[in-house]
Amino acid sequence: MANTNGSFGLRPYGMLGSAPNSVGTTEYRIASNNTNSLFQGQPVIPLAAGVIDELQAAAGGSVSIVGVFNGCEYVRSSDGKTVFSNFWPGSAAAGADSNFPVRAFLYDNPAQMFTIATSNVQAGNDTEAELLTAVFSNIQLATGNSGSTTTGISSATADLNTVATTNTHALRIMGILNDPENNDFSVAGIPLIVRINNHFNAPTGSIAQGTVSVTGV
């Protein structure tokens, strides 16, 4: 039976070790004139301007990921109302009042694990036994900066074609989620358990010096 999973970005799953999993978020800022969309479940990076933004590239890029976006709060300039949203639609659609901060809420604990669906099938990784050998390897994202403006959910997935020991890949595979509705290894949609590789809040994290994409910071 085909897997029921579609793309949903990164969903909090559990914590490394025995630490309690509060699934708490930390507040960061988005530049009010940021034209990029940020979706729930999308990994994001820190900028030297003190704000967060989308990845440098859909697969990840070279800047350390600071966390996974879970939503935002801003004041709409047209009516002065506070808007709570699971995604940032970009400055033009949001119409945020620049006199107030745009608050972003991230899952930013380096020990946080997530689930993410695979985007494809790869020969040699199309059975459970074969895919198990990819655990503890690293993997790149597919469509890491995309999402739905209808649901606000990220469309990020994991690209099985990129499984390697390359330490700059965005994610590390920690396991395969036991999910009876998504256990057909011959098609896309297998839920992997991953953590962020080279997390910004880890000692080796690196910040982006400047801006990325079309952000107006």
Residue 134 lies in a domain: yes
Is the same domain home to 118 and 192? yes
Residue 141 lies in a domain: yes
pLDDT for 60: 82
pLDDT for 125: 77
Write out the residue range of the structural domain in which residue 185 sits.
Answer: 111-196
Which of 92, 107, 122 is the last residue in one of the domains?
Answer: 107
Contact 86, 70 (CB under 8 A): yes
Residue 18 lies in a domain: no
pLDDT for 210: 53
How far is it, in rounded angstroms, from Cα 115 to Cα 123?
A: 22
pLDDT for 181: 84
Total structural domains within the chain: 2
Contact 199, 170 (CB under 8 A): no
Per-residue model confidence as pLDDT tens for the chain (217 residues): 677 878 899 999 989 886 777 778 999 999 999 999 999 999 999 998 999 999 988 888 888 999 999 999 999 999 999 999 999 999 999 999 999 999 999 999 999 999 999 988 777 777 889 999 999 999 999 988 999 999 999 999 999 999 999 988 999 999 999 988 888 788 888 899 999 998 999 887 777 765 544 443 3
Is the same domain home to 85 and 138? no
Is the same domain home to 125 and 184? yes
pLDDT for 215: 42
Is the same domain home to 64 and 119? no
25's tokens: 């978020």
pLDDT for 214: 42
Residue 217 lies in a domain: no
pTM of the model: 0.91
How far is it, in rounded angstroms, from Cα 97 to Cα 190?
A: 41
Which of 74, 107, 140 is the last residue in one of the domains?
Answer: 107
SS3 sequence of the chain: CCCCCCCCCCEEEEECCCCCCCCCCEEEEECCCCCCCECECCEEEEECCCCEECCCECCECCCCCCEEEEEEEEEECCCCCEEEECCECCHHHHCECCCCCEEEEEECCCCEEEEEEECCCCCCCCCHHHHHCCCCCEEEEECCCCECCCCCEECCEEEEEEEECCCCCCEEEEEECCCCCCCCCCCCCCEEEEEECCCCCCCCCCCECCCCCCCCC
pLDDT for 157: 94
